[in-house]
Amino acid sequence: DNYYADLTARNFSPHTCASAIEIARPVNLKKCLRAIDICNGVVRAVTDEEICDAKAIIGKYGLGCEPASAATIAGLRRLRAEGLIGADERVACVLTGHPLKDPNVTVNYHKEKQGEFSNPPVEAPNDIDEIIKLFG
């Protein structure tokens, strides 16, 4: 209960592009904190930019997920950069959410924000010959 009291006292109000993890009072917070403690785990916050970069990397390999799931890859990248996870270690990141959840996040990343891994859309006329030309 102290955890929830602290969140309330700080007027905690999360804001992220990953709507599924934008939760001010997680239902299973106590269980989660206990599991982290028992496993000697670590937790890192990741930015929306890191989440969008991770989602773009996932998409590059033909996979899809929602931004909240991409946060697992963003966290992995952060922990690798910090040296907490070695290059020879195996890690499982669970990607569960549908790729079309929060679609504007993906569209904006690739169209407007021009992130590190963005792949800007190419506009084409409604003409099959013109579309074929775009593919070279």
If you average pLDDT over residues 26-30, what whole number do you get?
Answer: 85
Torsion of CA 51, 16, 68, 90, to 10 degrees: 40
Please report how the helices 48-60 and 67-81 are oriented relative to each other, as an axis angle in degrees rounded to 10. 100
Residue 126 has a pLDDT of 95
Express each pLDDT in 37-54 by its tens digit: 999 999 999 999 999 999
- pTM greater than 0.75 (yes/no): yes
DSSP letters of 25-64? S-TTHHHHHHHHHHTT-------HHHHHHHHHHHHHTT--
Residue 14 has a pLDDT of 81
Would the pLDDT of 5 be above 80?
Answer: no
Report the SS3 class of residue 4: helix
Residue 8 has a pLDDT of 67
| Phi, psi dihedral angles at 35 (to 5 degrees) | -65, -40
Residues 109, 19: Cα–Cα separation, whole Å: 15
**pLDDT class of 3 with cuts at 50, 70, 90:** low
Residue 1 has a pLDDT of 63
Residue 68 has a pLDDT of 96
Express each pLDDT in 53-105 by its tens digit: 999 999 999 999 999 999 999 999 999 999 999 999 999 999 988 998 999 99
Domain spans of the chain, in order of start = 2-134
Would the pLDDT of 123 be above 70?
Answer: yes
Q: Which CATH class is domain 2-134?
A: alpha beta
Residues 119, 130: Cα–Cα separation, whole Å: 20
